[in-house]
Amino acid sequence: MDVYSRFPGPTLGDVGEAAAIRELLAAAPSGLNGDDAAVLGVLAPSSRPVITTDALVSGRHFRLDWSEPEEVGVKAVTQNVADIEAMGARPHALVLSLSAPPETPVAVARGIAAGIASEAAEYSAQLVGGDLTTSRDLVLGVSALGALGGALPALTLSGARPGQRLIASGATGRSAAGLALIERLGRNAAEEAFPGLVAAHVAPRLRPNRGIVARAAGASAATDVSDGLVADLSTLAERSGVRVDLEAAAIAPSEEMRAAADELGEDAWRWALTGGEDHVIVAALEGPAPSGFREIGRVGRGSGVTVDGRAPRYAGGWLSL
Amino acid sequence: MDVYSRFPGPTLGDVGEAAAIRELLAAAPSGLNGDDAAVLGVLAPSSRPVITTDALVSGRHFRLDWSEPEEVGVKAVTQNVADIEAMGARPHALVLSLSAPPETPVAVARGIAAGIASEAAEYSAQLVGGDLTTSRDLVLGVSALGALGGALPALTLSGARPGQRLIASGATGRSAAGLALIERLGRNAAEEAFPGLVAAHVAPRLRPNRGIVARAAGASAATDVSDGLVADLSTLAERSGVRVDLEAAAIAPSEEMRAAADELGEDAWRWALTGGEDHVIVAALEGPAPSGFREIGRVGRGSGVTVDGRAPRYAGGWLSL
């Protein structure tokens, strides 16, 4: 496959499963790996396990002609730990089910595992197990295990209440902007002009522990923005039986995003409102925004999502088969 | 796709992701599902979480012209819980990352989820979360979470000691026999003549909790037979620094397997020694075989695997890309 030509060395099919697994273990070393299953440490007293799974499919969620394998690994970690964080929990361990064509270079598999291991370490988490199978598409199936400590309830989609503030751990639309830039300009030119937006797409990263911080500050609801700000908050509004009122000034595209949009003849607001895969954490709470968050709106009575009291200029999201 | 023609009704692509996910949730209902991640109950005091992942790929690990979707779901559960059981732990929860072509009938996805849910219930476990993505191959990426209670160490590949008995929770080679029968006779004829062997291939099932029982009886090492008896015990022997001496009479193919081999002109011993995916639990302990196990050999000093003191007639296994 063409996309693999820039990765020299043997393929997974060349070396066989046993050697390929050794390479993956070497790229993501963990004392917990290497048996039928991984046994973790006892969770903190009264902690509840939290589990989630999310896959990345080549050609759909990433392209190896645009992204380094390590970046794909980072993206797989972020989309999974974001779901753990969105419950107010702390990520502990990840497992990787890698399905790959036999012609996949070993270097690609190794890079993916190394990217997962290094990004997991940012959360003091580990890649503790995996599985390697053959398929036509390169698919990273990652599952993450976290721990929800203490007696407070988890942050759920249904926990928002009228009167609460809505807070976000970062800006939305940056991944969508990065994707549009790469598609139109190619990665190199896109990166030269807008390195932050390109990074937000190929290897989105969270500031760890925002979920714990939001829960400790009294949040009762949260989600990560995976499908798009309006789409994900519509789900939260529906599940909580509330209306979400966003403040345009607080969610407005940055200057960097507006410059990118100008360059491409796009509207940066579309990215901010409907772009997925930023994985920022949005939570609802009574008090002021805690460290690493800023207020982006309010929770009200009613249903749906508004921006400055009106229907959002763009709706929809990335939810599609 | 031809293989899908026997499943009437709309496809995943027809109904879209949101409706498809609703179908999966309805087929595998769980009060823990439906948020960013699933929050489980507090594990028993001093229990350690145990996690594993294993994927099934269409055309490689199953074929929908041979298997019902529900059976594929059962197989996905068994191969994952077997890894949890092989540590001496109890399965608690599973998550499913389903990658499927858009032309996959909704009925197939629903059947897979239903099969997972019903087999998980055999272990008092639940399917608590999932992810649905598009890819060219149908891939079931399942991860399982278990709990290892008490202070005893986990059953590991490296825990076998000379002098121990080797015990197994069932016979090996039955899945391989079933596969050979289906390949040669077609499912219907194969099933008419050898229903047990066909079932062992399309929907292998374990008697739950054999791992806990072995650990309570003092076992120190275990594995499940996923790649083949000789292959998996070679790994155990190597990791434990011991020799494994199997007793031919105890691992001999059953009359049913010998009849199947006669029919196909095969040697049933090849299936028994090298066939994978039976997922029976093999453990090493000092005392007699506990409930649901029988003795199949001894652990000795040295290295490798013998059968009645000689090199196995067949070695190798299913380990390959």
Q: pLDDT for A211-268, tens place per residue?
A: 999 999 999 999 999 999 999 999 999 999 999 999 999 999 999 999 999 999 999 9
Q: pLDDT for A129-176, tens place per residue?
A: 999 999 999 999 999 999 999 889 999 999 999 999 999 999 999 999
Alpha-carbon span B191 to B91, nearest angstrom:
30
Please give the pLDDT value at position A239. Answer: 97
Report residue A208 as tokens. 């760890």
- B217 phi and psi angles, rounded to 5 deg: -85, 5
Q: pLDDT for B154-200, tens place per residue?
A: 999 999 999 999 999 999 999 999 999 999 999 999 999 999 999 99
Instruction: Give the 3-state DSSP-derived string for chain B, with helices as H, strands as E and coil as C.
Output: CHHHCCCCCCEHHHHHHHHHHHHHHHHCCCCCCCCCCEECCCCCCCCEEEEEEEEEEECCCECCCCCCHHHHHHHHHHHHHHHHHCCCCEEEEEEEEEEECCCCEHHHHHHHHHHHHHHHHHCCCEEEEEEEEECCCCEEEEEEEEEECCCCCCCECCCCCCCCEEEECCCCCHHHHHHHHHHHHHHHHHHHHCHHHHHHHHCCCCCCCHHHHHHHCCCCEEEECCCCHHHHHHHHHHHHCCEEEECHHHHCCCHHHHHHHHHHCCCHHHHHHHCCCCCCEEEEECCCCCCCCEEEEEEECCCEEEECCECCCCCCCCCCC
- A47 phi and psi angles, rounded to 5 deg: -75, 145
List the single residue in A with minimal CA-CA distance to B225: A36
Alpha-carbon span A263 to A254, nearest angstrom:
14
CATH of B164-307, one of 3.30.300.30, 1.10.150.120, 3.20.20.300, 3.90.650.10: 3.90.650.10
**Is A87 at the interface with chain B, CB within 8 A?**
yes
Select the residue of A137, A143, A320 nearest B17 (Cβ to Cβ): A320
Q: pLDDT for A14-32, tens place per residue?
A: 999 889 999 999 999 998 9
Please give the pLDDT value at position B14. Answer: 95
List the single residue in B with minimal CA-CA distance to A34: B157
Q: Would you call A143 helix, strand, or coil by DSSP?
A: strand
Please give the pLDDT value at position B10. Answer: 97
**Is B30 at the interface with chain A, CB within 8 A?**
no
Question: For chain A, what are the domain ranges?
Answer: 37-149, 164-307
| pTM of structure | 0.95
Neighbours of A83 (CB within 10 A): 29
Quote the CATH superfamily of domain B37-149. PurM-like, N-terminal domain (3.30.1330.10)
Q: How confident is the model at residue A2 (pLDDT cuts 50, 70, 90)?
A: confident
Q: How confident is the model at residue A53 (pLDDT cuts 50, 70, 90)?
A: very high
Task: Pick out chain B residues at pLDDT < 50.
Answer: 319-321
> Does residue A320 register a pLDDT over 60?
no
A residues 274..293 contacting B (CB < 8 A): none
DSSP label at residue A286: S
DSSP label at residue A2: G
**Is A84 at the interface with chain B, CB within 8 A?**
yes
| Residue A235 near residue A305, CB atoms below 8 Å | no
- Give percent of chain B above pLDDT 90: 92
Please give the pLDDT value at position B186. Answer: 97
- The residue assigned the tokens 């940012």 is A122
